[in-house]
Structure 1
């Protein structure tokens, strides 16, 4: 009999072999815990995350303004982009949207996935269904049906723009908020599988995207990536779907400890970590803490009525 050939790309197979050897050396559970601890040892950069939150705001400005980079405060306070390489990806049926582009400073590319335009109540009223994630290298992985449908509806457009803008060999920066943060977590898996170099990822106020197998796979696949989920004080959304469902968080947590201000601490992905957002009881959670990052609102187009005078002109002359 001929040995069965793996259908995984060589780089993905090598990553899994490396992870497997580490896990077998200590036992599977201990190995994954070690990888999670190693990822937590990376330093969270709140200034960098704030800059990326400006890209999230820019996506809320809509297609026309995003693609001509007429995005108000995000021009001055966000990364310096190449205005000739910007793409707004939209799917009308799901209302999913993402912004993709090349950056001049820092050098690389970005993907920003917009959250739902509905209210937090729409998530509270949702029925959460686990479905197969459907990826090689993620055996037994389940994703939340609505979150996955949202992501899949713009996935092709995102990857098409990344390829067109020459981002395959560029450092990639990722940001998403709420439903967009859950979608971004699925996107991270696909990017690593496709051999993209993910430099930083910030999933702001993400709901729980997958089951235990998904968490384990993400811990293995993204163990060497500076990837974080950011939670704010008593925000209810990171606690959805409820803990009685099979869904779990998959990224290390950055927890902002107060209603305002920039004090934070970091924790492992475990939902029951009492040092971070896991210490709140269900009746203590609030929707009003959702649209926030370091006293910035990432849920809308900042300075939407006007762009600072001369900002566009100076950008185009660079």
Structure 2
């Protein structure tokens, strides 16, 4: 893969969306963790789509009335967006919006507003996933309840948007908890389309799932089923992890949770440069099982709350003119949570391949 030349950095917030045109001649570098099959693993990843998805995730944190009027701080960076509807459940504290933008249907979900409290208070109970084709599937009960709180409204909006624009791909995105809801919505869309495919010329809508700092959602049976769904059509799934972000390490592996692929680990000083992780045991075949890449973000000690608040070089909140992450209160997590993460690191290390991660990688940094 070609190297991206120069010292390109992510655009500042004031020019976040406008600067996308400057990225056209640049090829993003994601270094490979072997074994990886390029065609299935990474061929469709778009840096421009990732930046746009992140901005829609940022919009979800804005004031609901400003989103409805599309006058929020982050809204100005997506001037082509046409809002279909905004959906809010104040009991569950969930919010999502849907619409169209530049040839895509877009659905974005709000994440947790107080990440430190969310990390310490998260409950890890599983509940059966209610789809007969997903045998022995368990998902996080809290995430599923949050998804259910908006499901009917989001499905109705998707029905109307897909009928109106049957050839548009569906970009589904979210940061933090919003990423979990985005995954559950993508799975719902692929397994139970809101529009009968025969009404669209026999085609299912193409799903583009881009999440940022997403927690683990389900057990291995659920994740294997999710992988099969994504392989069943022209769908894409990318899970961005920024450095030591704590949230992707929750709920813990030792409690039976695992991530759905595909991880992109943004670990370098250049916020747009990442490692393309191998988070399938056998990515070359559609029947291959799923497992996390223990040489990517799972290899880290001492995860960070602060790293959860920055992605692709910009803050994940509505606006970036507030306090820096160093001055935000509540970034510290409890001793109990730290002990649980230490236990999970030990669990991950026992599952790590015998070869060292440096041997598994072709290179650790781009060549000169």
TM-score bin, normalised by smaller chain: 0.7 to 0.9
Q: 1:139 and 1:272 mapped to 2: Cα distance?
A: 21
Match of 2:127 in 1: 131
Q: 2:209 and 2:308 mapped to 1: Cα distance?
A: 19
Match of 1:316 in 2: none
Query: Secondary structure of 1:120's partner?
Result: helix
Match of 1:81 in 2: 81
CA deviations over 1:31-82 (Å, ceiling 9, x no partner) = xxx999753142422222011111111122232111211123432x336112
For the aligned residues, what is the CA RMSD? 2.4
Q: Is the 8 A contact 2:86 2:98 kept in 1?
A: yes
Q: 2:173 and 2:66 mapped to 1: Cα distance?
A: 19
Gaps of 5+ in 1: 1-33, 305-318
Say whether 1:252 aligns with 2:234. no
Gaps of 5+ in 2: 1-34, 194-203, 281-290, 323-368
Q: Is the 8 A contact 2:74 2:318 kept in 1?
A: no
Match of 1:286 in 2: 304
Q: 2:74 and 2:149 mapped to 1: Cα distance?
A: 29
Write out aligned runs for 1:209-228 (5 A): 209-223=217-231, 224-228=234-238
Are residues 146 and 35 of structure 1, via their aligned partners in 2, closer, same or farther at CA, if it must alter by over 3 Å? farther
CA deviations over 1:197-247 (Å, ceiling 9, x no partner) = 134211111111000001110110012412111101001110001121111
Are residues 260 and 129 of structure 1, via their aligned partners in 2, closer, same or farther at CA, if it must alter by over 3 Å? farther
Q: Is the 8 A contact 2:237 2:261 kept in 1?
A: yes
* Shift in Å, 1:86: 2.8
* Shift in Å, 1:263: 1.5
Are residues 259 and 285 of structure 1, via their aligned partners in 2, closer, same or farther at CA, if it must alter by over 3 Å? farther
Match of 1:275 in 2: 295
Are residues 94 and 36 of structure 1, via their aligned partners in 2, closer, same or farther at CA, if it must alter by over 3 Å? farther
How many residues are treated as equivalent by the alignment? 264
TM-score normalised to the size of structure 2?
A: 0.66
CA deviations over 1:174-202 (Å, ceiling 9, x no partner) = 11111110111111111112345134211
Are residues 81 and 220 of structure 1, via their aligned partners in 2, closer, same or farther at CA, if it must alter by over 3 Å? same
Q: 2:164 and 2:310 mapped to 1: Cα distance?
A: 29
Q: 2:295 and 2:94 mapped to 1: Cα distance?
A: 33
Match of 1:298 in 2: 316
